[in-house]
């Protein structure tokens, strides 16, 4: 796998200005990734052997699964996206951060607040809404921390020296403003001034879809566009459609929530709105596929991408995004949704979107960004290979596990047997994540950048 390390021993002025907050976010994300990986293995073990750690009330399945999901999304993914969005926007906008301590402060508050919230969950103080389980006093602190940690890309965008705007910048700005809005609205309507009846389910589905598709997905798509163009050295195919893809994604994704509630006690017309919005997601999905695969397909581009460390991860992420979106579209129709409703099939779809797409793109971005921040090579090429193949195989197995458990839910397969792929997948991902963390921490420890800085 080839990689450009021409910046070894030196970093640009822009990279130097954002180095401290980006490293802080990356270091925090690595710690949360390892925590989430260990918890994921425990969850898989409890599905296989329900009595595992059964004597301790802290380690019930519900608490551990909640801890794992929150640690992964708010700890690993969000911290990594803080770093990724700041780096990409600063690079595109030629922005030098003058007050680097402010995003660092925001990151510290974010992670301390998240730690407090997860401890409360471990002690049994949790709510019944997915990804809103932490006590309600956690949300105000996290929103404030987010404003300090994650709004700097918007500042960089506002201060860009030229009027040129790239599609990656649009996705970063959109994702950045989505998170505080949906968090504040959902917290007010579900926990602080709770609504009644089915409105709670509607608000929660709206929050959940926006969090996954727009905050996580939008941020990851910005990286896909950036690195495909940067590493391939090609102009994005049918680039004039990219803006249409951005606007349609942010328009239709927000309305897909009711499609996740098909068969529930909500008005049929609202369910139909969700189904139509889910079907219209075909527009941004097709446009993104045309942009990305149309760029890489000609002149043996896919093979060249496969031999590039960053593009290999990003390519897997782009394929996973397309598959996840198509599955969501197909199984949002009433007849097909009825076949997979109340089965782990939805978890397999979610894994494609959150891990196979978002996390794989983050990994690919890290392989590009860290050498430029530290001026160092990756310590071990073998660990890079181990990381990719372990995570790719584990991710595929998790999807298989979701499908087989869905089959078992219909009484076709023994559930204990169907849980085996999930256990193996969690083990493979743990190995891959430890390989990545060891490599990344070794690079940060061997940082050569401060001794030789130049502008280029």
Domain presence at residue 52: yes
Question: What's the pLDDT at 189?
Answer: 96
| Confidence category of residue 51, pLDDT binned at 50, 70, 90 | confident
Q: What is the Cα–Cα distance from 74 to 82, expressed in whole angstroms?
A: 11
The model carries a pTM of 0.93
Domain presence at residue 8: no
Q: How many domains, in total, are found in the chain? A: 1
**Residues 166-195: pLDDT tens digits?**
999 999 999 999 999 999 999 999 999 999
Domain presence at residue 58: yes
What average pLDDT does range 432-451 have in this prediction? 82
- Reading the block at residue 314, the tokens are 């990003």
**Residues 23-47: pLDDT tens digits?**
999 999 999 999 999 999 999 898 8
SS3 333: coil
Those residues whose C-beta lies under 8 Å from the C-beta of residue 299, and which sit 6 or more positions away, are none
Domain presence at residue 4: no
What average pLDDT does range 1-12 have in this prediction? 49
Query: Can you give the CATH number for the domain in which 167 is found?
Result: 1.20.210.10
Q: For the chain, give the mean pLDDT.
A: 89
Question: What's the pLDDT at 3?
Answer: 45
> 90-99, 220-229, 280-289, 312-321: which range is least confident on average?
90-99
Those residues whose C-beta lies under 8 Å from the C-beta of residue 170, and which sit 6 or more positions away, are 222, 243, 246
Examine the pLDDT at 1 and tell me if it is beyond 70: no
What average pLDDT does range 244-261 have in this prediction? 94
Q: What is the Cα–Cα distance from 198 to 191, expressed in whole angstroms?
A: 15
What average pLDDT does range 102-110 have in this prediction? 97
> 115 or 332, which is more confident?
115
Examine the pLDDT at 291 and tell me if it is beyond 60: yes
Domain presence at residue 347: yes
Burial of 51 (0-12, 13-18, 19+ CB in 10 A): exposed
Domain presence at residue 322: yes
Q: Which residues pair with 2 in a beta bridge?
A: 308
Range of 369's domain?
13-451
Those residues whose C-beta lies under 8 Å from the C-beta of residue 438, and which sit 6 or more positions away, are 380, 383
Question: What's the pLDDT at 265?
Answer: 87
Q: At what angle do helices 13-48 and 61-70 cross, to 10 degrees?
A: 160
Judge contact between 361 and 220, C-beta under 8 A.
yes
Domain presence at residue 101: yes
Domain presence at residue 6: no
């Amino acid at each position: 796998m080839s990689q450009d390390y021409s910046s070894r021993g030196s970093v640009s002025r822009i990279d130097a200005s954002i180095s401290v907050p980006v490293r802080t976010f990356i270091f925090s994300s690595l710690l949360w990734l390892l925590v989430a990986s260990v918890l994921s293995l425990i969850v898989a073990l409890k599905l296989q052997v329900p009595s595992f750690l059964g004597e301790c009330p802290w380690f019930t399945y519900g608490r551990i699964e909640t801890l794992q999901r929150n640690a992964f999304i708010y700890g690993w993914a969000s911290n990594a996206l803080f770093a990724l969005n700041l780096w990409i926007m600063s690079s595109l906008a030629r922005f030098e951060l003058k007050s680097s301590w402010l995003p660092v402060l925001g990151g510290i508050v974010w992670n301390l607040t998240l730690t407090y919230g997860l401890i409360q969950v471990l002690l049994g103080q949790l709510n019944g809404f997915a990804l809103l389980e932490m006590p309600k006093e956690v949300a105000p602190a996290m929103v404030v921390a987010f404003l300090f940690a994650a709004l700097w890309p918007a500042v960089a965008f506002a201060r860009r020296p030229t009027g040129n705007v790239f599609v990656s910048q649009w996705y970063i700005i959109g994702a950045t403003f989505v998170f505080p809005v949906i968090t504040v609205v959902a917290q007010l309507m579900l926990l602080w001034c709770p609504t009644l009846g089915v409105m709670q389910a509607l608000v929660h589905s709206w929050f959940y879809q926006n969090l996954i598709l727009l905050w996580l997905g939008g941020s990851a798509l910005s990286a896909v566009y950036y690195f495909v163009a940067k590493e391939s050295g090609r102009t994005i195919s049918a680039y004039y459609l990219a803006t249409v893809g951005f606007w349609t994604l942010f328009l239709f994704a927000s309305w897909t929530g009711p499609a996740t509630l098909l068969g529930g006690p909500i008005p049929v017309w609202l369910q139909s709105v969700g189904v139509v919005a889910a079907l219209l997601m075909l527009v941004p999905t097709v446009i993104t596929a045309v942009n990305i695969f149309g760029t890489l397909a000609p002149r043996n581009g896919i093979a060249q991408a496969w031999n590039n460390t960053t593009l290999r991860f990003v390519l897997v992420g782009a394929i996973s995004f397309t598959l996840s979106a198509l599955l969501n579209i197909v199984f949002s129709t009433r007849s097909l949704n009825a076949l997979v409703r109340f089965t782990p099939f939805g978890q397999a779809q979610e894994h494609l979107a959150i891990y196979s797409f978002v996390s794989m793109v983050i990994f690919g971005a890290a392989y590009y960004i860290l050498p430029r921040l530290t001026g160092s090579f990756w310590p071990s090429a073998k660990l890079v290979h181990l990381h990719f193949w372990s995570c790719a195989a584990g991710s595929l197995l998790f999807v298989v596990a979701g499908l087989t458990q869905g089959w078992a839910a219909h009484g076709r397969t023994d559930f204990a047997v169907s849980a085996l792929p999930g256990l193996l997948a969690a083990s493979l991902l743990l190995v891959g994540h430890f390989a990545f963390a060891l490599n990344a921490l070794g690079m940060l420890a061997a940082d050569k950048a401060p001794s030789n800085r130049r502008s280029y």
